[in-house]
């Protein structure tokens, strides 16, 4: 997730970055950011689609945060905008630019996290990662969305990506524990989790992945596995997540 912070007060920029770091660490998600001290500097760099989320201070030297948002909306109607202000005076006005949230200073962590959860759930999902160790190289981060499936062969944990396969040092049990908390991953065999977003089709006893790898589905409980996959796919179609 790429974030812009438009705030003229350095200490308040630092405070916001601290809260963002805590939030994304909690979510096991990656983010990058750019900071701007004025609305003018931000607008010079802004392009539609460049940022997934923009934080705007309302009161700044030069162009205000509200006027900055109006300029953004001339070319980008969908980017979530978070206003941050010491006053609630402009809260109603923020609706004119379809603001995602209007937060007051000082920022309360609980309110900030709640706002992020509501607005950024889908974006955060796309940036969740798994930390693995490969040949002793610690803290290698793999985006969960890029993992097709995981399995265990000869007591080694294998991570299958679209173009390659990694043998990692992490025990299979710890990997399964983390990934099984993510709704995209489905247990289809002993020590095997498949990312349902990467399934091309389902045959009688296996999944065919989009890179044409085959993942066997256990005989016992096969009907439940297939039903879970079907329900996940239908839910994605209803919510517009699949083409």
CATH number of the domain within which 16 lies:
3.40.50.2300
CATH number of the domain within which 218 lies:
2.40.50.1020
**What pLDDT does residue 156 have?**
94
| Pair 111, 142 in one domain | no
What strand order describes the sheet that includes 206-209? 199-202, 206-209, 214-216
Q: Which of 107, 126, 145 is where one domain is finished? A: 126
Average pLDDT for runs of 10 along the chain of length 243: 95 95 90 96 95 95 94 93 90 90 91 89 80 81 94 95 94 95 94 95 93 95 93 70 48
pLDDT digits (tens, 9 = 90+) for 111-144: 999 999 888 877 777 788 899 998 877 678 899 9
- Percent of the chain predicted with pLDDT > 70: 96
Burial of 147 (0-12, 13-18, 19+ CB in 10 A): buried
Q: Provide the 10 A C-beta neighbour count for residue 201.
A: 9
Q: How many domains does the chain have?
A: 2
**What pLDDT does residue 138 have?**
67
| Pair 115, 174 in one domain | no
**What pLDDT does residue 236 have?**
65
């Amino acid at each position: 997730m790429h974030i812009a912070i438009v705030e003229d007060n350095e200490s308040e920029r630092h405070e916001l970055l601290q809260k963002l770091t805590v939030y994304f660490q909690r979510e096991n998600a990656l983010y990058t950011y750019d900071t701007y001290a004025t609305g003018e500097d931000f607008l010079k760099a802004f392009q539609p689609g460049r940022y997934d989320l923009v934080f705007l201070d309302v009161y700044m030297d030069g162009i205000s945060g509200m006027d900055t948002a109006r300029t953004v909306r001339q070319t980008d109607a969908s980017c979530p905008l978070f206003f941050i202000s010491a006053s609630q005076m402009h809260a109603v006005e923020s609706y004119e630019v379809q603001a995602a949230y209007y937060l007051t200073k000082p920022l309360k962590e609980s309110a900030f996290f709640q706002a992020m959860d509501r607005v950024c759930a889908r974006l955060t999902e796309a940036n969740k990662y798994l930390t693995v160790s490969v040949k002793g190289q610690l803290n290698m981060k793999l985006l969960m969305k890029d993992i097709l499936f995981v399995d265990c062969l000869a007591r080694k944990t294998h991570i299958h990506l679209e173009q390659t396969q990694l043998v990692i040092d992490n025990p299979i049990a710890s990997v399964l524990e983390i990934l099984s908390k993510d709704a995209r991953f489905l247990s289809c065999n002993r020590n095997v989790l498949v990312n349902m977003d990467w399934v091309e089709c389902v045959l009688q006893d296996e999944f065919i992945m989009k890179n044409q790898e085959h993942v066997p589905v256990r005989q016992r409980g096969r009907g439940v596995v297939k039903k879970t996959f079907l329900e996940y796919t239908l839910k994605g179609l209803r919510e517009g997540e699949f083409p």
